[in-house]
Chains A and B, each alone.
Chain A
C-alpha cells in the first residue's frame, strides 16, 4: 500500500496532471480518507460523511442489482458499467471545469438509472440517457445540491420520449432467453389492454359475453353465485391468486377457461417482466427498509406515497374498475416500489419540511394513479416524481410561509 500512497503523492506534483486534481483527489480520499481537521468549534465532529451516506444507498440497491443479475443475466452488468462510465465522465469533466472535488452523487445516479431501464435497452441508449440526465438534470443547475430534478429520472424520461419504440416495446421475460423471451407487455400493459376488451367484475355474466375480468376474489364469488350467470364459452381473467383459485376450481366456469392475469406472488419475487431493478419487489423492499432503518432516507415520503396509491386505487377501482386497477396490483406493479423507495426519497429533489414531505408523497400517489389510469402511458411513477420535483421548492416555501409568521423588525 505504501507504493500506492507514494504514487498518489507523486501524481499531485506532476504539472501536466494539475487539471486532473479532482480525479486524483477523489481516488486519494476514497482510498485513504481525509487528513483535514476541524478549524474551530465544533472541534470534534460526527464520523458520518457524504461518502458513507451515499455508499449506503448503493448497499441498499445491491439486493435489487443482484436480483436483476439473477433474472436477466450478464447484460445487467454491462448496462451498469456503461452507465457508470458515461455518467462518471460527465461528472469528472464538470469537476475539472468547475475546479471542485468530484461529488459522490453520480455513484447513485449511475446505478439507479440502469435499474429503471428495460433489460433489453441497447448500450448506446444507456450512455445517451445517463449523459443527458447528468448534464441537464444536475450540472446545468449548478451541480449536486442545487438540482431540481432527480438526474436519473431526467435521463430515463428523455430516452422514453426520444426512443419510444425501444423503451416501451421490448420487455424481457425473466429467466428466459431467445426471441420468444421478448414480450411487449408488462403487467401494467396487460391490465390496460385486457380491461379494454373485457367486461369488468360483472355481477351477472350475460350469455354471449366473450371475456370477463375479475379484479378480486369477491367479484368472482358474486358472479358465480348469481344463478343467472352464464359462463359457457366465457374466457375468465383473474387478478391475483385468490381470485384465480376461486375461478379455476369453480364448477360453473369451463375447464381451462380461467386464466391468471397476474400473480401478486410472482410480482413480489420478480417473475414478471419489467425494468431491470424494479421487478424483484422483495429486494427493493429489503433495501428501502434498510435505508429507512439507518435514517439515510426518510419514511415520510415512501409511506405517504404508497398509502395514497393504495387508498386512491381502492376507492377508484370500486367505482371505475375498467380504468383504475385494484390497489394491491397498483402498489406491486410497475416502478412504484422502486420509485417510492429510491427516487422520491432523494433528499435534494424532495421537500425538506415534514409537512412538505407528506404533500409530496400524497401528490405523487394521486398523480401516479391518474397517469396510469387515464393517460396514454401505462406507467406514471416517473412522470409524477419529476412533476413533483418541479413543485418541491414551491411546496417548501408554502409550508415555511405557513409555519413561520412574518415578523416586524
Chain B
C-alpha cells in the first residue's frame, strides 16, 4: 500500500451536509432524440467542422478536428443525421455547434488500434488513442500528446495530479465514480498515463475523510513507487488547480498562469477513466457522468449522459414541481446558470445543480436560531452543531446589501491569502493601477468564497474579477515570474 499523506491549506471553508447532495448511485440517462455538440469543448480552441448538414454520422465519429490549434477532436455522440450547424453562445463567445438527430440506437464506433492488453501498446500508440478519443482535452490545459492537445508538450510534464477531491457545496462524489470495476479501471488509467509520461511523478489526491475510498485507491495502485496517494481536507476550494499544486506538491502556480506553465497537469477521476476507455475499450469521449444535485430533483443520482444532451432530457421526470428552481452548471459558487432547458451538457460539465429560487420573505429571519441555515460564523445553530444538520440550498440573499464594515471574514477565508475587501475598495472607486498589482489581485483564483461569507452581501469576487479585466484593458497584465514558463510559445495570447 502506498503511504497516505494528509495535507491542508490556509483559509477555505468546509461546506457540510447540504440538502439533497448527490447519492452514491449511478444511472444512465439513455440516448436522447437530439444532441447539440459545441465545437469548442472545455479549455481548447474551436475546431474545424468536418460534417455538413444532412450526412449520417455514427456515435464516436470525429465531427470536428483541428491539428493546427491547441485542441482535441470532437465526436458525434449518437448515431443519426446531422440536421444543422449554427453559431451558439458558449461560455461568453459564439461557437459553431452541430445538431444531430438520433436514430435511437446506442451503439458506437470504436477507435482503431485499441487493445485490452494495453501494456503491449507503445507510448506512441497510446498517445494517438488518447488524442483521437478526445480524452486529451481534459482539465484546464489538456493532456499533452504528439498532437497539439495541450499548451505544453509531453517532455514538459514534471508532475501529474489526479484528484477526486470533493469540496463544493454541491458536486459529484468520487465514491460514485469509482464503484465496482471502475476502481481497477481507474488504477489502469493511471498506469497508462504513466507509460505515456514516464518521467512524471504521479499524485492521487482524495478527501482524507473518505478513508475506505482512499485505502481502496491506495491498494489498487500499490507496488508503484512513482505514485503517491494523499488525503486532502475537504475544505473549499481544495480542488482548485492552484490549491492542489500547493497542497500536494508544495509548489505554487505563478499568479495569473496555469499549472501547466510549471509543468504540472491536473486531472480528475473522470479524465483518467476516459483515458482507460479510449486505450483499452477504444471508446471515444461521447459520454459524461453528471451529478444531479440539489433539492430540485426528486432523486439525486449520478447519470451517464451523451455529450450534447439537452438539459431537459437529463432531468426527465426527475424534477419536483412544488417550487421554482434555478439550474446551475457545475458549481453553486462559481457556476453559470442554465437559462434554457435546451442548453446542453458538454465535456466539462460534471454537475447539474437545482437550488430553490427563494424570493420568499421570512419572519424575523435575522433572529432565528437557524438549524438549517448554513453559515461560516458560529452565529447560527447549524454552524454550532456542525455537520449534523442539513442545510438548505437556496438563492435568497438573506439580507440587504450594506457598506463593508471591515469584519475581516473575507480575508479569513481567502485561500490565496488576499484581503478581498481592500481590493474591492480600490476597484469600487475605480482606482485601476499598480496598487492592485501590489496587493496581488492576480493571485485571486476566482473561488468566490469571499462573496459567500460577506455579511454585507458584497459581490467581492465579481468586483475583483472586473478589476482584473480592467487592469488587462489598461495594459497592466500579470507580471511574468522570474523563471521560464513552459508552453508559453503555444499559448492563445
Chain A positions within 8 Å of B, measured between CB atoms, are 1, 29-53, 55-56, 101, 103-104, 143-146, 293-296, 298, 347-348, 352-353, 400, 404-409
Contacts and interface: CB of A to CB of B under 8 A. Distances in A.
Given A41-B331, A52-B379, A101-B400, A348 B455 contact: no
B448 A49 contact: no
B457 A45 contact: yes
Given A34-B361, A36-B397, A400-B422, A47 B403 contact: no
A84 to B, nearest CB: 18
Contact of B365 (A33, A39, A44, A46): A33
B35 interface: no
Interface residues of B, number: 68
A31 B395 contact: no
A32 B361 contact: yes
A1 B358 CA distance: 21
Given A45-B398, A50-B405, A33 B454 contact: no
B488 interface: no
A83 B64 CA distance: 73
Q: Is the interface of B mostly helix, strand, loop or mixed?
A: loop
Given A37-B397, A44-B355, A293-B378, A103 B366 contact: no
Given A49-B457, A50-B456, A293-B378, A44 B394 contact: yes
Contacts of A55: 366-367
The 4 A-B pairs at the shortest CB distance, nearest first, are namely: A49-B399, A145-B403, A33-B365, A51-B366
A34 B479 contact: no
A35 B361 contact: yes
A41 B359 contact: no
B407 to A, nearest CB: 5
B479 A49 contact: no
Contact of A41 (B335, B375, B379): B335
A56 B380 CA distance: 11
Contacts of B452: 42, 44-46
Given A48-B399, A49-B399, A35 B364 contact: no
A348 B406 CA distance: 6
Contacts of B332: 42-44
Nearest to B402: A50
A400 B377 contact: no
9 contacts: A32-B361, A34-B399, A35-B359, A43-B326, A45-B398, A55-B367, A293-B378, A400-B419, A404-B439
B434 A347 contact: no
A170 B489 CA distance: 80
B403 A144 contact: yes
A106 to B, nearest CB: 13
Residue of B334, B394, B397 with most partner-chain A CB within 10 A:
B397
Residue of A48, A295, A348, A407 with most partner-chain B CB within 10 A:
A48
Given A44-B393, A44-B394, A347-B407, 20 more contacts: A1-B363, A29-B400, A35-B359, A39-B459, A42-B333, A44-B452, A45-B451, A45-B452, A46-B454, A47-B374, A50-B402, A143-B403, A144-B405, A145-B405, A295-B379, A347-B408, A352-B406, A352-B421, A404-B439, A407-B434
A190 B367 CA distance: 43
Contacts of B362: 32-33
A48 B448 contact: no
Given A31-B364, A44-B355, A53 B419 contact: no
Contact of A33 (B334, B363, B411, B476): B363
A31 B361 CA distance: 9
A49 B455 contact: yes
Interface string B419-463: 101100000000000100111100000001001111111010110
Contacts of B453: 46, 48
Nearest to B403: A145
B357 interface: yes
Contacts of A406: 434, 438
Residue of A32, A47, A51, A56 with most partner-chain B CB within 10 A:
A47
A352 B411 contact: yes
Contacts of A353: 419
Contacts of B363: 1, 31-33
B193 interface: no
A278 to B, nearest CB: 24
B440 A404 contact: yes
Contacts of B376: 46, 48
Contacts of A296: 377, 379, 407
Contact of A42 (B334, B419, B455): B334
B333 A400 contact: no
B336 interface: yes
B411 A48 contact: no
